[in-house]
Structure 1
Amino acid sequence: MTSPDLTQANIDKIAELFPSVVTESSDVDGNPARAVDFDLLRQELSDFIVEGPQERYRLDWPGKRAAAFTANAPIAKTFRPVREESVDFDTTKNLFIEGDNLDALKLLQESYLGKVKLIYIDPPYNTGNDFVYNDDFAESSAGYLERSSQASAAGERFLANTESSGRFHSDWLSMMYARLKLARALLTEDGVIFISIDDHEVDNLRKVCGEVFGERNFIAQLVWRARKFTDMRATTNVSTDHEYVLAYARTSEGCLRGVERDESKFGNPDDDPRGPWMSRSILGLATREQRPNLHYDLIDPATDTVYPPNPSTGWRYSSDRMAEMVSEGRILFPSREGGRPREKKFRAEMQTDLIAFRSVIEEVYTADGTQEGRELLGSGVFAFPKPTRLIKELVRQGTESDSIVLDFFAGSGTTGDAVSRLNAEDGGTRRYILVQLDEVADANTDAATAGYRTIAEVSRERIRRAGADTRSQAGVLGDALDVGFRSLRIDTTNMTDVLRAPDDTDQLTLSDFGSSVKPDRTGEDLLFQVLLDWGLELTMPIQKETIDGFEVYDVEEGALILCTRPREARDLSLSLSLSLGLPRPSRSVSRFVSCSSTKTSRTTRRASTSGRCSVNARHTLRSRPYDRRSLVGGA
């Protein structure tokens, strides 16, 4: 009876917020104990790279601290909607995002914090030829492109990671580490992440995931038999037929659903009044030294045949319980020589219709994914996509019927395809968010020959065609399926740099200054930046009206109203939305008008109506690029 160990309680709280800073140490008696790595904690709370010499048990590599810093560094970017590349833009709940997934994960942090039930990613395997993302936010985009000699119109951002670089593992780990740290924050408390990987980095990836998600949240290292036929080209005389899928939970409570029982295994050949049953082994799991009470001779009362226990396993039940089961006719004694007793397990006594999901995934192969891609896109357009059945089963295991699924290495878009097809099967309304880098398709590939400029274009076309196919196969129920997607593109902020601070201006001189909104940006561009700033989901329904030249965007019937005006217009009163009979909004924003002081905290804005615009809101100019901490998406 002692008072609580407050130190350990505090460590538990820190571990929940920052699993990567909790490490293994030793107490005064030399026993293992959890402790906080204060160098790592300082890094989580610092806006610069923290150096630290402390020895610790963990995976380390050159660039790890920089990767942690990169994950936390802010960016001045936004999502721009692309209606012409979307399907059912106004009604769909799905998202397709084109651009660097590190940027995407940062931009999604407020709108989808703690809302994603399942993440599946198939990152580039580190084979020595695959690209890795070169993350550097210490310089401008123009400077980065100039330094890396990558100034293509597509904004290509990848470098070869050859084994000769000396950073073969380090670059790949840094790329993954930053993204996994951001991805964890998006998961629900009972969320799960699945990561496809092969032998090159599976050991390192497990260590990284153990650090990011916490080792206690490890679920399984699933083995997927990916190859159907033996690889005759193997130089080591070993045909590597498998890959892995690592599974980690957001918290220790996270788990998989399980699979339905095979009801065909149950029968009632002896007309037992207790109903259908199946034969089950009664072997135990312990040696005589471990569980001596489970090692005894089992005797068939009808024949007096003695069945000794297996020395390495013993029996499943104690001798007293086994005697009860024999008397109740629950033990099946063999009729042939050499057989072993088994249990009669009745279906009616089983508490659930589900059994455990097996760690070995079979009967679905890479060749299946290749065939699917060929049927949807044509031969060779995308090399070795994951099969839909594999992703569909993982999604089935880790989601509810209305969950959000995220894939930030979308590739050919298999995850989006799988979510739509699973919804068609079980009537679910799951939503997906796909992110794909606008990687330029090599000129020598079938994708380029088929007219696809980037891999993102391939992804969009895949889910576009797969959605149409899913809806067609669903027949009369197809119209109710959401097989569309809102296409968004990552771009720089909508706001321009201005040289004059708000306090240096007044109402009379305001008209002398230029707009702080970039000239190529639309009202809908501004709307999506405001949605991000307010932490609103990006698939909310949007209604647009043009009234007396003003564009009025109503998000989810008054959750937010954005009013923009032509550049030549001189004045705008925010009482306009009310006078025109629009619903009184929870939030209202007008272009070039600030709703309230930029010092208002985000917590205050969400907890009260202080963020509502008033008729007398004064005009301001920003003295810096658009900041995610500021109040509105105006200037």
Structure 2
Amino acid sequence: MSTQRITPNYKFNDEQIRQLRLIAPEVFKDNILDIVTLYEALGDFIDDDILQNEHYGISWPGKQNAKKGAATPVHGTLIPVQDKSCLASGTANIFIEGENLTVLKIIKKSYANSIKAIYIDPPYNTGNDLIYEDDFSESAEDFLTRIGSIDATGKRLTTNSKADGRFHSKWLSMMYPRLKLAHQLLKEEGVICISIDDNELNNLRLIMNEIFGEENFVGNFIVQSNPRASQSSGDIGIVHEYVLVYTRNITKNAALAQRLDDRMLTEYKYTAKDGRKYRELGLRLRGGAWRRSQRQNLYFPIYVDPVTGRVSLEQKDGYTEEALPIKPTTGEEGTWRWSKEKIKKDADDLFGKQIKRGENYIWDVYQMDYLTKKDNDEKSTKPKSIWNEPEMNYQNAGEEIKELFGHSDVFDFPKPVYLIKKVLNLIDCDGEIVMDFFAGSGTTGEAIYELNSEGRNIRFILVQLDYKIAETKRAHKLGYNTIADVTSKRLELASEKYQKAEFEGSDNLLGFKYFKLGPSNYKVWKNYSGTDISNLLTLFNEQQSLLIDDWDPQSLLTEIILIEGFPLDSTIVEEESIKVNKVYKISSDSCEHSLFICLDKRVEESAIHLLPLDSSDIFICLDAAVTDQNKIRLEDRGILKTI
């Protein structure tokens, strides 16, 4: 295929541009639509040396391949592992053992636009080899030769390995496709939070701006994770890390809201006639543009009825006492926080009272700031950008590991439960799914268990690579061969811990269904470019069945569910009315139709008559299991798919 410059003869309207921003924010560079990147997003990747458009953004050796990595199809499935599951019959929580890029691609159809919050703690870039080595990664030799770090004989020309491009490029190529898929999984109002340190903070911001759109940046929290300071590198004792926050669509996302702490709650010490608690807030503006000269329209008198305390903008019968926004210490003229229009609208939330200033008494106006709104939603506050609570100390995470396993060194550098709870408490996750595809020690799962024990209703999907643990490590000596073993065991132990608390709804808010990434039950189609007819016939004969010879019924059932876009926590029941065949009905609140799946080698005609199919339901069976006549009958009642 030849590649040439594209000169569009069609002009997008404003609504189309808005929709394109939501679907593919990365195609806008410097707020301008980049046709080349749009062309790439559609699947046709243009050679770097053909089209060179300069824009503000981030580029690195291997970026083009990293982009392809998000779209490259995978051949695999998720296999249910019953003996590693915990409270599997009732739970909606999911744990997946496997390489996360492949897993995200496999579940994308089932969970696209479905995840409310993603928290990840990816491997920090220390310059060592990454655990997540993707197939599209460039070899070290090819990379170093191309950028001039080694000569033709392989002799190294530079010595600062951390400063060279590959230090960042490998990490960025690893992160880019995973973040691209995360964007597709999030709900439009969804939020993603990423723990990171200084090594890649700036680069992470740039690729997040490209994938999510710079306008969807929410904030960057500084977390005091090590008050004693790390002395392991550099000239500065590092006491902090970061949590970077983006949303998929800032116009749809409610502001991050932090619940009031105990100290804040003590301020709400008054009770209104309707029983709601409130605090008194002075209506005079204390900070910002408080001088009359800065906001002339916010300087005006308010009149108070000295008997009732009610206020008015007019001096009329009963409203005899004048209040002005005067700074008491200097007598300077200030401003009110509310405009006249706001006061007219919400005058019932204001009252005036006489207070002593020095030797004199004056009238001032206050707002009744309610703890709960009329819809009973509790008041919240904006989160501060620095998190320095003692519970943020990552040493606490070791103690949490020790409580469950008996040893604090079972996992290196876990995050504390308090941190994940604080993150999730900023987001309205009730009734929603939270995902963590760098699950590590499983802190996110335990944090969600604890939140649910406090009255929340959150489900999780956790993904962890089955990375081998060194034999010298404590975890290996305790019998854990992979990091995924540690993750799942922590989820099991934490589930038992909170199960003993017997909180309401514990049956479906604890535990997890365990799945493992494995090979597909479907054959891989082999392309043939030869001219030998006998070879072609052999190929067709081999592909008569779509399934491999030793396909597994339980694994295939899960694979079909995912292919059809049903979630992993779908309800699976066997149709008891059908005695002659084993037929499973799969349903989910997220899907409008049901699946009926029969994997028997023959589907009896009596079973076909008994199938309770609606016109939108899908019946799936082996192609050889039904006759052509029965295929026609089935298609008249619903949708038939054969494999």
Could you state the TM-score of these two structures normalised by the residue count of structure 2? Answer: 0.74
C-alpha distance 41-132 of structure 1, shift in aligned 2 (>3 A): farther
Q: Does the Cα contact within 8 Å between 1:282 and 1:317 map onto a contact in 2?
A: yes
1:524 maps to which of 545, 554, 570: 554
**Which residue of 2 is the match for residue 249 of structure 1?**
247
**Which residue of 1 is the match for residue 152 of structure 2?**
none
**Which residue of 2 is the match for residue 562 of structure 1?**
597
2:330 maps to which of 296, 299, 307: 307
**Which residue of 2 is the match for residue 354 of structure 1?**
379
Q: Does the Cα contact within 8 Å between 1:388 and 1:414 map onto a contact in 2?
A: yes
Matched, 1:409 2:435: no
Taking the aligned partners of 1:592 and 1:319, their CA distance within structure 2 comes to 72
Q: CA deviation at 1:332?
A: 5.9
Amino acid at match of 1:532: L
Taking the aligned partners of 1:165 and 1:304, their CA distance within structure 2 comes to 58
Taking the aligned partners of 2:69 and 2:627, their CA distance within structure 1 comes to 31
Q: CA deviation at 1:278?
A: 4.0
C-alpha distance 318-511 of structure 1, shift in aligned 2 (>3 A): closer
Taking the aligned partners of 1:113 and 1:274, their CA distance within structure 2 comes to 41
**Which residue of 2 is the match for residue 620 of structure 1?**
none
Matched, 1:214 2:213: yes
**Which residue of 2 is the match for residue 91 of structure 1?**
90
Taking the aligned partners of 2:84 and 2:342, their CA distance within structure 1 comes to 66
SS in 2 for 1:398: coil
**Which residue of 1 is the match for residue 143 of structure 2?**
none
Taking the aligned partners of 1:469 and 1:362, their CA distance within structure 2 comes to 28
Q: Does the Cα contact within 8 Å between 2:91 and 2:507 map onto a contact in 1?
A: no
Amino acid at match of 1:367: Q
C-alpha distance 44-489 of structure 1, shift in aligned 2 (>3 A): same
Q: CA deviation at 1:591?
A: 3.0
Taking the aligned partners of 1:525 and 1:323, their CA distance within structure 2 comes to 65
**Which residue of 2 is the match for residue 151 of structure 1?**
none
Q: CA deviation at 1:95?
A: 1.0
**Which residue of 1 is the match for residue 563 of structure 2?**
533
**Which residue of 2 is the match for residue 285 of structure 1?**
288
SS in 1 for 2:423: helix
1:390 maps to which of 405, 410, 419: 419
**Could you report, residue by residue, the CA deviation over 1:184-211 in whole angstroms, capped at 9, with x for unpaired residues?**
1111121111111111111111111111
Q: CA deviation at 1:285?
A: 1.4
C-alpha distance 35-473 of structure 1, shift in aligned 2 (>3 A): same
Give runs of aligned pairs for residues 107-118 of structure 1, distance below 5 A: 107-118=106-117
**Could you report, residue by residue, the CA deviation over 1:331-352 in whole angstroms, capped at 9, with x for unpaired residues?**
8666599xxx997442349756
C-alpha distance 425-250 of structure 1, shift in aligned 2 (>3 A): same
Give runs of aligned pairs for residues 73-92 of structure 1, distance below 5 A: 73-92=72-91
Taking the aligned partners of 1:304 and 1:138, their CA distance within structure 2 comes to 64
Bigger shift: 373-382 or 406-415?
Answer: 373-382
Give runs of aligned pairs for residues 142-161 of structure 1, distance below 5 A: none
Q: Does the Cα contact within 8 Å between 1:79 and 1:528 map onto a contact in 2?
A: yes
SS in 2 for 1:224: strand
Q: CA deviation at 1:516?
A: 4.8
C-alpha distance 136-500 of structure 1, shift in aligned 2 (>3 A): closer
Q: Does the Cα contact within 8 Å between 1:98 and 1:437 map onto a contact in 2?
A: yes
**Could you report, residue by residue, the CA deviation over 1:544-591 in whole angstroms, capped at 9, with x for unpaired residues?**
5898895433323992222223xxxxx613645345x55437222123
Amino acid at match of 2:182: A
Amino acid at match of 1:554: K
C-alpha distance 464-334 of structure 1, shift in aligned 2 (>3 A): farther
Give runs of aligned pairs for residues 441-452 of structure 1, distance below 5 A: 441-452=469-480
**Could you report, residue by residue, the CA deviation over 1:10-40 in whole angstroms, capped at 9, with x for unpaired residues?**
332321211001011xxxxxxxxx3211111
Matched, 1:41 2:28: no
**Which residue of 2 is the match for residue 239 of structure 1?**
237
C-alpha distance 233-590 of structure 1, shift in aligned 2 (>3 A): same
Give aligned pairs, total. 551
Taking the aligned partners of 2:627 and 2:54, their CA distance within structure 1 comes to 49
SS in 1 for 2:176: helix
- Stretches of structure 2 lacking an aligned partner (at least 5 in a row): 1-10, 139-159, 302-321, 529-533, 535-539, 629-634
Matched, 1:14 2:20: yes
SS in 2 for 1:346: strand
Taking the aligned partners of 1:573 and 1:322, their CA distance within structure 2 comes to 71
Taking the aligned partners of 1:285 and 1:592, their CA distance within structure 2 comes to 73
**Could you report, residue by residue, the CA deviation over 1:33-56 in whole angstroms, capped at 9, with x for unpaired residues?**
x32111111111125454231111
C-alpha distance 498-23 of structure 1, shift in aligned 2 (>3 A): closer
**Which residue of 1 is the match for residue 484 of structure 2?**
456
C-alpha distance 198-121 of structure 1, shift in aligned 2 (>3 A): same
Amino acid at match of 2:75: A
**Which residue of 2 is the match for residue 369 of structure 1?**
397
- RMSD after superposition: 4.4
Taking the aligned partners of 2:378 and 2:255, their CA distance within structure 1 comes to 14
**Which residue of 2 is the match for residue 542 of structure 1?**
572
Could you state the TM-score of these two structures normalised by the residue count of structure 1? Answer: 0.75
Taking the aligned partners of 1:177 and 1:467, their CA distance within structure 2 comes to 33
C-alpha distance 240-255 of structure 1, shift in aligned 2 (>3 A): farther
SS in 2 for 1:108: helix
Q: CA deviation at 1:162?
A: 6.3
Q: Does the Cα contact within 8 Å between 2:448 and 2:460 map onto a contact in 1?
A: yes
Taking the aligned partners of 1:448 and 1:370, their CA distance within structure 2 comes to 17
SS in 1 for 2:109: coil
Q: Does the Cα contact within 8 Å between 1:95 and 1:486 map onto a contact in 2?
A: yes
Q: CA deviation at 1:474?
A: 2.7
Q: Does the Cα contact within 8 Å between 1:71 and 1:178 map onto a contact in 2?
A: yes
Taking the aligned partners of 1:484 and 1:400, their CA distance within structure 2 comes to 18
C-alpha distance 274-496 of structure 1, shift in aligned 2 (>3 A): closer
Q: Does the Cα contact within 8 Å between 2:91 and 2:510 map onto a contact in 1?
A: yes
Q: CA deviation at 1:259?
A: 2.8
SS in 2 for 1:190: strand
Q: Does the Cα contact within 8 Å between 1:129 and 1:162 map onto a contact in 2?
A: no
Bigger shift: 174-183 or 249-258?
Answer: 249-258
Taking the aligned partners of 2:87 and 2:441, their CA distance within structure 1 comes to 20
SS in 1 for 2:509: coil
Q: Does the Cα contact within 8 Å between 1:284 and 1:315 map onto a contact in 2?
A: no
SS in 1 for 2:17: helix
C-alpha distance 555-213 of structure 1, shift in aligned 2 (>3 A): same
SS in 1 for 2:77: strand
Matched, 1:488 2:487: no
Taking the aligned partners of 1:554 and 1:478, their CA distance within structure 2 comes to 25
Taking the aligned partners of 1:288 and 1:188, their CA distance within structure 2 comes to 44
Taking the aligned partners of 1:386 and 1:336, their CA distance within structure 2 comes to 56
Matched, 1:468 2:496: yes
C-alpha distance 167-288 of structure 1, shift in aligned 2 (>3 A): farther
Identity %: 32
Q: CA deviation at 1:520?
A: 4.2
Taking the aligned partners of 2:122 and 2:331, their CA distance within structure 1 comes to 51
C-alpha distance 305-499 of structure 1, shift in aligned 2 (>3 A): closer
Taking the aligned partners of 2:527 and 2:120, their CA distance within structure 1 comes to 45
Q: CA deviation at 1:321?
A: 11
Q: Does the Cα contact within 8 Å between 2:220 and 2:242 map onto a contact in 1?
A: yes
Q: Does the Cα contact within 8 Å between 2:525 and 2:543 map onto a contact in 1?
A: no
C-alpha distance 304-416 of structure 1, shift in aligned 2 (>3 A): closer
Amino acid at match of 2:597: L
**Could you report, residue by residue, the CA deviation over 1:304-350 in whole angstroms, capped at 9, with x for unpaired residues?**
9652559xxx656489999999x96468666599xxx9974423497
C-alpha distance 348-286 of structure 1, shift in aligned 2 (>3 A): closer
SS in 2 for 1:554: strand
